[in-house]
Structure 1
Amino acid sequence: MNALIQESNVDAREPVLDTVDRVSELCFGLFMALTFVGTVSAATAGADAGQKMLYTALGCNLAWGLADALMFLVRTLTNRGRRLTLALAIRSAPDAAAGRRVLRDALPKFMRSLVSDEDLDSIRLKLAAATNLPDRPRLARDDYVGALAIFVIIVLSTFPVALPFIVFSDVPTALLVSRILTLVMLFCGGLALGRHAGWGGWKAGLGMVIFGVLLTMAIVALGG
């Protein structure tokens, strides 16, 4: 709906990935790798323990990176289809009042009382005059770039967690380094989210670290 309000081209694309998307995918990859490394480190010993942990975590994140990238494309196509359906419903409304109702119902609840009929009429008239509405929702090059970026972020997030087990032969030392790197990355992710949202960056960073620790403990306890 935001894209529809901003411009009459309902097929217009948002930025490939925003700060929330990038940090969310990074944290998802970290959590997946961390739970696998923790599980394998407790059950694996020997000279090749580090390689086993790296390959296990990497294989997990390769699979989930692919799944998440494909779901990003599905979500993008679905949202674009909803915008197109909304635009067509507004254009086919029998009168101005009906068109305004369709637009107002599509707004988030907190915005419905803030937008006047005149504002809605401006959008409705732009849509009525638009000549570039697509016949169906489509994926574009930037969408595939976004899916690839999600896949790469999730896969790359494996290495700070699992690589210490290749660098250090002592598993307890490698596990300590892995956890420290994970906490640093979680803090940086929270810091970025806090600044993006206008909160206190340091508080958001610490909050993300606490959240990450508790979530990882819950995932492990539930058998993840």
Structure 2
Amino acid sequence: MITTTSPRQPASRKREPLLNTVDRVSELCFGLFMALTFVGAVKVVTGGESAAHKMFFSALGCNIAWGLADAVMFLVRTLADRGQRLTLARTVKRERDPALALHALRDALPKPLEPLLEDAELELIRARLAAASTLPPRAHLTGADLLGALGIFVIVVTSTFPVALPFLIVKDPTTALVISRSLTLAMLFGAGFALGHYSGAGAMKAGFAMTVLGAVLTLAIIALGG
């Protein structure tokens, strides 16, 4: 929905995180899955130290590339969403027929919220938009958006290390594989735990579900040649 800044906002306002929990968990899991494709076959690291180095830097390079792509697409998606909301605000502000303006606002509501808001409540928003002196000429990115994109890049890249780094610091490939898998499962459980707590689905249950889902997805990715 579109809201306008009121001059009577409270002095202290809760600061929103750069990335919400779903974004952080999604990017972390994506980075883990990408890195896991490089260590899915034990034979990759049985060729000695040079093979372990090659595997690590291949996984790191892949996650750097995908982290950059994800960060750029985050900015594109943010700018597009912001532009769509600004277009809606302009439409409502210019519309002389209040009924048509209300219809535009209702059409923009997420389906689950549509039956919860009465026309009288939407009318308050319409009136505020109609009375707004100016609207931004165009949608633009902010410093917080750039920091959010940087956060996505960092999450995807750093998720490489728990998966692939053990093969560089532990000489025995079998031991390194056990450490890598243990860290990966722990991170998947933590990601699911956070997501379950955020969504109200049950933290422990979501943690175990994410662990199982991650293992199944990893096997599927490897089987498909990922």
Q: TM-score range by the shorter chain?
A: over 0.9
Which residue type is aligned with residue 42 of structure 1? K
Residue 196 of structure 2: aligned partner: 194
Matched, 1:53 2:49: no
Q: Deviations 1:177-209 (Å, cap 9, x if unpaired)?
A: 101100000000000011111121110000000
Structure 1 runs (4+) deviating above 3 angstroms are none
User: 1:113 aligned to 87, 98, 115, which one?
Assistant: 115
| Matched-pair identity in % | 58
1 or 2, which has the higher helix percentage? 1
- CA-CA distance at 1:36 after TM superposition: 1.6
* Contact 1:50/1:169, CA 8 A, preserved across alignment: no
TM-score (norm 2): 0.91
Secondary structure at 2:112's aligned position in 1?
helix
More displaced, 65-74 or 107-116?
Answer: 107-116
Q: Deviations 1:10-62 (Å, cap 9, x if unpaired)?
A: xxx964201111111111100000112224x4335122222112111100000
Q: Deviations 1:64-111 (Å, cap 9, x if unpaired)?
A: 000000000000000000000110111122311001000001111222
Residue 69 of structure 2: aligned partner: 67
Residues 78 and 14 (structure 1), Cα distance of their counterparts in 2 relative to 1, 3 Å cut: farther
Residue 11 of structure 2: aligned partner: none
RMSD: 1.5
Q: How many residues align structurally?
A: 216
More displaced, 47-56 or 138-147?
Answer: 47-56
TM-score (norm 1): 0.92
Residue 144 of structure 1: aligned partner: 146
* Contact 2:196/2:207, CA 8 A, preserved across alignment: yes
Gaps of 5+ in 1: none
Which residue type is aligned with residue 8 of structure 1? T
- CA-CA distance at 1:210 after TM superposition: 0.6
CA distance in 2, matches of 1:204, 1:29: 19
Where does 1:22-171 land on structure 2 (aligned, <5 Å)? 22-39=24-41, 41-44=42-45, 45-171=47-173
CA distance in 2, matches of 1:175, 1:22: 26
Residue 224 of structure 2: aligned partner: 222
CA distance in 1, matches of 2:18, 2:49: 42
Gaps of 5+ in 2: 6-14
* Contact 2:79/2:140, CA 8 A, preserved across alignment: yes
Secondary structure at 1:36's aligned position in 2?
coil
